[in-house]
Amino acid sequence: MSVNTWRDLEDIITGDNVTYRFKFEQITSIMSHFQDREFILIGDSGQYDPEIFWEVDRQFPGLVKEIIIRDIVNDREINPQRFEGMTVVPANTVKKGISEFD
C-alpha cells in the first residue's frame, strides 16, 4: 500500500484499521489473562464489532459464551452474514440502513 495523499496517511493513523486493531488487542489481552472464564461480548454493528468478536472467538475457542450485537445500521437485513451465530438486538431506524442516532 502506498500513501498518495494526506488523507491516505490520516486513514492509516486514525482510521478504521486502528480502531479494529485497538479493540482486538484490548479484548484479547483481557481474555489471555482470564482463560479459565467465559465471556459475553457485547457491541454494535457500527465499528466492526461483529468482525472483531468473530476473530476473538476463533482465537479463543470455548471462552466466548455469547456474542450480542446491537444492529444500529440495519445490517440484519442488508448483510445478515455479519451476525451468523450471534444474538442480534435491533435498533430503531428512521429509514432502512440508517440509525435514528446518526
Domain that holds residue 17: 6-96
Residue 30 lies in a domain: yes
pLDDT of residue 50: 96
Backbone CA torsion sign across 74, 80, 54, 85:
positive
Tens digits of residue pLDDT in 19-50: 889 999 999 999 999 999 999 999 999 889 99
Residue 1 lies in a domain: no
Domain count, the chain: 1
pLDDT, averaged across the chain: 83
pTM of the model: 0.75
Residue 17 lies in a domain: yes
Residue 101 lies in a domain: no
Residue 13 lies in a domain: yes
As a whole number, mean pLDDT of residues 54-58 equals: 97
Q: Contact, 39 vs 64, CB < 8 A?
A: yes
Kindly state the DSSP code that residue 82 receives in the 8-state scheme.
Answer: G
| E-assigned strand segments in 17-90 | 39-44, 64-71, 87-90
